Amino acid sequence: MPISYPMITTYTQHAHLLSILTHYECAHSWIFNNYIQLYINKDYKHNWGDFYFPLTYELRPSDACKWITTQKIHRNTVTSKWGSVIDFIIENINSNHYVHTMVNYFYVPLSERYNRLHLHHDIFVYGYDLNRELLYVSDFFKKGVYSQAELSFADFDLAFSTDHLTTNHDYLREMVYLYKFNDTYQDNFSIDTMLNSIRCYFANKTPEYWEMFNYGGDRDNLDFGMQIYTTLINYVKDTSDNESKLDVRPFHLLYDHKRIMTLRLKYLYDNRLLSKLVQEHIDEFLSIEVKAKIMMNLVLKYNLTRDLSILEGLRTMIIKIENEEIKFLDHWLKRVCVQ
């Protein structure tokens, strides 16, 4: 089944989906009309931040994407109706379905948790080799890097079938997801939708429908849009005070956000969708993306060394990225994006 390396890799719910969509140029309009707004928890015990989609926590971005047809089958149905999970995967891949499921990584040799930790994670299956008896799979196997690899039928079957109740919860809710690319869908890029989303991000506005979809009174515990910078600066300060390890994910989210914005600008320029956009604007934002990459490297360096002096450089870099993005978006929205 065709895939490409995804444009965003902070979390599997985006990386798995975008490994499909990135491959199909016709679906890029949907990607660039989304992945704009951000939210993040203010506290340092739950450093969860993500791209915002107008869905409840129980649903995933694939449920909002009409380029993908999604089916969900309970794990018990798979094991009771098919001879093995491998038979299930082969049958569905032959029907042009990608497979997304949870497995116990204690039994996955590709993983750093192999034979060390009973912890399950969601893995993406996009092909198989019957002669070699292996599956083509994707996930964050080692060092937090999203990658494609090969996994034997025997190892996958064991990881899927053995004691699903491990040390963390099943965020697929015991369902196996099947994705099929919907090549009959027609989509048009909406400049108005994109610009409205960027303005909301820049103004730190609570996303439309947040209260409707995400009940529970969590609004006061969250920052939206460019407030993510304040949250990360506070997080770095708190880490410096207690000399703890940094959670890489919220920083990688910020980097992914800059990367997708650079790609979005290039998409607008290449397709002549915004007449006042010029190559210099792309180059200017690319400079912000590069600084976000440097920021990520500082996070990784600190976690390796626990050298507190690195955190001051990290804080300075976050402030620099924020100031440059404010300057860019203020100019861009006022002068380039006037419709």
Are residue 196 and residue 311 in the same domain, yes or no?
yes
Tell whether the torsion through CA atoms of 64, 16, 254 and 248 is positive or negative.
positive
Distance CA 66, CA 231 (A): 33
Instruction: Report which of 190, 195, 225, 205 is spatially closest to residue 332, judged by C-alpha positions.
Output: 195
pLDDT, tens digit (0-9, with 9 covering 90-100), for 67-104: 999 999 999 899 899 989 999 999 999 999 999 999 99
Has residue 52 been placed in a domain?
no
- Distance, in Å, from the CA atom of 260 to the CA atom of 69, rounded to the nearest integer, reads 24
What's the pTM?
Answer: 0.91
Let me know whether 195 and 143 are in one domain: no
Cβ–Cβ under 8 Å, residues 71 and 177: yes
pLDDT band at 20 (very low <50, low <70, confident <90, very high): very high
Do 240 and 137 belong to one domain? Answer: no
Same domain, 215 and 133: no
- The domain boundary residue, chosen from 181, 206, 221: 181
For residue 48, being part of any structural domain is answered with no
Higher pLDDT, 318 or 164: 318
- Report yes or no on 7 lying in a domain: no
Question: What are 161-219's pLDDT values in tens digits?
Answer: 876 555 667 778 889 999 999 988 888 888 888 998 999 999 988 776 666 555 555 66
* Domain region containing 147: 12-41+58-181
Q: Is residue 33 part of a domain?
A: yes
Same domain, 196 and 270: yes
CA 26 to chain CA centroid, Å, is 20
169 shares its domain with 298:
no
Tell whether 199 and 303 lie within a shared domain.
yes
Q: Specify whether 147 is located in the same domain as 289.
A: no
Same domain, yes or no: 169 and 211: no
- Please count the structural domains in the chain: 2
Least confident interval from 6-15, 23-32, 42-51, 325-334: 42-51
Give the pLDDT band (50/70/90) at residue 275. Answer: confident
Q: Is residue 175 part of a domain?
A: yes
Mark which of 181, 207, 224 sits at the end of a domain: 181
Position 158 pLDDT exceeds 80 = yes
Quickly tell me which residue has 């993406």 as its tokens: 124
Q: Establish if 3 belongs to a structural domain.
A: no
Mean pLDDT of the chain: 88
pLDDT for residue 269: 93
Q: Tell whether 138 is covered by a domain.
A: yes
Residues 122, 21 share a domain: yes
Residue 51 forms part of a structural domain: no
- Please say whether the beta carbons of 26 and 138 come within 8 A: no
Q: Quick check: 230 and 260 in contact, CB under 8 A?
A: no
Among 152, 181, 210, the domain-final residue is: 181
Q: Are residues 156 and 197 in the same domain?
A: no
Domain shared by 130 and 218, yes or no? no
DSSP state of 334: I
Q: For residue 47, what are the contacts with CB-CB under 8 A and spacing of at least 6? A: 40, 41, 235, 247, 249, 250
Q: Give, as one character, the DSSP assignment of residue 332.
A: I
CB 85 within 8 A of CB 160: yes
